[in-house]
């Protein structure tokens, strides 16, 4: 614990994904007051044409009560 999942469009380099994971781990350790060995980060690439149904609907609309930062867009508007 904790496990962080980042979903984003494809196109970032492996170096960018590694750096993103490293920075997330640093912040989680500092803010959640846990050991680095307890943190894991997964990155899932989602095609733009799949984003609305696979991410926005399932992870955002259907789970609004769990969101701590809501997006400023809605692909269904």
Domain ranges of the chain: 1-45, 48-77
Annotation marks residue 48 as catalytic: no
Domain 1-45 is in which class? alpha beta
What is the tens place of the pLDDT at every residue in 43-77? 999 999 999 999 999 999 999 999 999 999 999 99
pLDDT at residue number 1: 87
Four-CA torsion 52, 56, 59, 64, nearest 10 degrees: -150
In sequence order, which residues have a C-beta less than 8 Å from that of residue 23 and are 6 or more positions away? none
pTM recorded for the entire structure: 0.91
* 41 within 8 A of 6, measured Cβ to Cβ: yes
């Amino acid at each position: 614990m904790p496990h962080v999942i980042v979903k984003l469009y494809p196109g970032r380099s492996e170096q960018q994904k590694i750096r993103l994971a490293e920075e997330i781990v640093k912040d989680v350790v500092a803010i959640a007051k846990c050991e680095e060995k307890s943190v894991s980060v997964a990155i899932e690439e989602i095609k733009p044409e799949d984003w609305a149904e696979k991410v926005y609907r399932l992870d955002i609309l259907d789970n609004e009560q769990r969101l701590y930062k809501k997006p400023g867009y809605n692909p269904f508007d």
